A and B are shown apart, each in its own frame.
Chain A
């Protein structure tokens, strides 16, 4: 099992550019999450999904969109990147039988200049 994988690992964007981060999990988990991690602020939930075709807003959703077209994939989109979106982004997944044990991907380091 690869677990949770994230693509790409690093990316540099210019202000106003768009990009999509891909998260994939091979554990057949129902729930998936996108977090951002910033120094001194811990992990903040951006969006999450409780099943294929469903998404919901987390704590800091502005400037991001998500889609869950397939159970194993959860995409995070930045339509018009801003320097404030410079961060490390983590994807996680979990399963209903143990809702709170989240499995994390290795992260994507995004810099917006």
Chain B
């Protein structure tokens, strides 16, 4: 069975500090991995995705994530937090084996401290 674990339901960082949101996955087949962001009272937007190829993936708004197979991780980072980054972030897992569904993590709420 596939699963996604996001460590830390709430993360607070100071403006200008490094953002690190953790995601670990479990999959018996090669995974596709995604980060989505949800701003207050909005739907989810795709931030970035890893399917195949380069393991360091860059997304919108200065975010990036690195796929580490040996650690079964796909952590999201941003070098310098902005107030506008305050949102909830979801890691999601899919596979390319006739399965069109995604498995979502429980989310991490990011707060930016001025």
Bound complex: CA A4 to CA B43 (Å)? 10
- Interface membership of A60, Cβ < 8 A: no
In the complex, whether B63 has a CB less than 8 A from a CB of chain A is: no
Contact assessment for A102 and B105 in the assembled complex, using a CB-CB cutoff below 8 Å: no
Most chain B beta-carbon neighbours within 10 Å: one of A33, A41, A104 = A104
In the bound complex, what is the Cα–Cα distance between A58 and B102 (angstroms)?
11
Most chain B CB neighbours (cut-off 10 Å) among A40, A100, A104: A100
> Does B27 touch A at the CB level, under 8 Å?
no
A-B contact count (CB 8 A): 54
Query: Which of A40, A101, A105 sits near B43, CB closer than 8 Å?
Result: A105
Q: Is A43 a contact of B43 with CB atoms below 8 Å?
A: no
Given known pairs A48-B100, A100-B34, the reply for A42 and B105 (CB within 8 Å) is yes
Residue from A44, A50, A104 in contact with B44 in the complex, judged by beta carbons closer than 8 Å: A104
Chain A binding surface, main DSSP class: strand
The yes or no answer to A45 lying at the interface (CB within 8 A) is yes
Q: Is the CB of B104 within 8 A of A31?
A: no
Tell me which residues across on chain A come within 8 A of B12, comparing CB atoms: none
Whether a CB of chain B sits under 8 angstroms from the CB of A90 is yes
B82 at interface, CB cutoff 8 A: no
**Contact present for B42 and A101 (CB under 8 Å):** no
The interface bits of chain B over 10-46 (1 if a CB of A lies within 8 angstroms of the residue's CB, else 0) are 0000000000000000000000101010000111111
Residues of chain A within 8 A of B92, CB atoms compared: 100
Top 4 nearest A-B pairs (CB, nearest first) are A104-B43, A42-B106, A100-B94, A43-B104
Selected A-B contacts with CB under 8 Å, 22 pairs: A31-B100, A40-B106, A42-B104, A42-B105, A43-B90, A43-B104, A92-B43, A92-B44, A99-B96, A100-B34, A100-B51, A100-B92, A100-B100, A101-B46, A102-B102, A103-B46, A104-B36, A104-B43, A104-B44, A105-B43, A106-B43, A107-B43
Q: Which positions in A face B, CB cutoff 8 Å?
A: 4, 31, 33, 40-45, 48, 50, 58, 90, 92, 94, 99-107
